Amino acid sequence: MTDRIAPRSGVAFTLPKDKILCVTDPEGGQVGDLLAFRAADPREAISNGRTFDYEETIRLTTGNRLWSNRSNALLEIVEDSCGVHDFLLTPCSEATFRHFYADKPVHRGCFGNLADALEPYGIAADAIPVAFNLFMNVPVGSDGKIRVLPPTTKAGDFIRLRALDDLIVGLTACSAYDSCGGSFKPIDYRIE
């Protein structure tokens, strides 16, 4: 069964070991921020730094694993029709809205949506790490400069990730203007 995350919202759910999470961009051009915590002890969470260490790349796709702050692999990307994701930037938040979109209404953003969805699992806002930002298109120039461009996804593009442990997952349909080219769209997911 496929569930839909409404535009500018987020969810949290448990993902048992060996199950596969399939996340689809149903209309194309949308980003979903993904977090994963070890269910048995949510102080263990995905870490961009540990992942960059062990995978030796900042461009993660099929075959790459997402590692935790305790050096355990929590998720493995088993299929990826897009190939463009970001693990550098933090979820958009009230503070990033005020900073980047001073002329627009402030939104709690993916950060607020994730904090709200994860609170019943005992995960505090301060414990939210950098998310793995599915379909987010963040090129890094040879001078290190970062740009946030619209996703390259077409309608129906997807990524499938296998759980390597029992996990608590947070997932959003992104709320920021830049990450989705100014169009807020849903994100679909299902557990296989």
Distance of CA 132 to the CA centre of its chain: 4
For a second copy, the binding residue among 40, 88, 106, 149 (CB under 8 A) is 88
Q: Measured from the CB of residue 81, what is the shortest distance to a second copy in angstroms?
A: 18
CB 6, min distance to a second copy, A: 24
Segment interacting with a second copy (CB under 8 A) among 8-16, 17-25, 90-98, 184-192: 90-98
CA dihedral 176, 55, 38, 20 (to 10 degrees): 80
Residue 114 CB-density burial (10 A; 0-12 exposed, 13-18 middle, 19+ buried): buried
Q: Which residue has the tokens 């002329």?
A: 103
Q: Which is nearer to a second copy, 105 or 144 (CB)?
A: 144
Rounded to whole angstroms, the Cα distance separating 101 from 78 reads 36
Does residue 48 interact with a second copy by CB under 8 A?
yes
Interior angle at CA 150, CA 62 and CA 130, nearest 5: 60
Half-sphere exposure for 118 (CA within 13 Å, toward CB): 28
Determine contact, residues 149/46, Cβ cutoff 8 Å.
no
Among 3, 6, 49, 149, binds a second copy (CB under 8 A): 49
Which residue, 58 or 78, has its beta carbon nearer to a second copy?
58
- Of the ranges 5-13, 42-50, 160-168, 183-191, which one interacts with a second copy (CB under 8 A)? 42-50
Among 21, 24, 36, 47, binds a second copy (CB under 8 A): 47
Cβ-contact 187, 28 below 8 angstroms:
no
Q: According to CB under 8 A, which residues from 144 to 183 bind a second copy?
A: 144-147
128 lies in the binding site for a second copy (CB under 8 A): yes
Q: Is 102 in the site for a second copy (CB under 8 A)?
A: no
CB atoms within 10 A of CB 70: 13
Which of 3, 18, 53, 119 touches a second copy by CB under 8 A?
Answer: 53
The contact set with a second copy (CB under 8 A) reads: 43-44, 47-50, 52-54, 56-59, 69-71, 88-90, 93, 95-96, 99, 126, 128-130, 140, 142-147
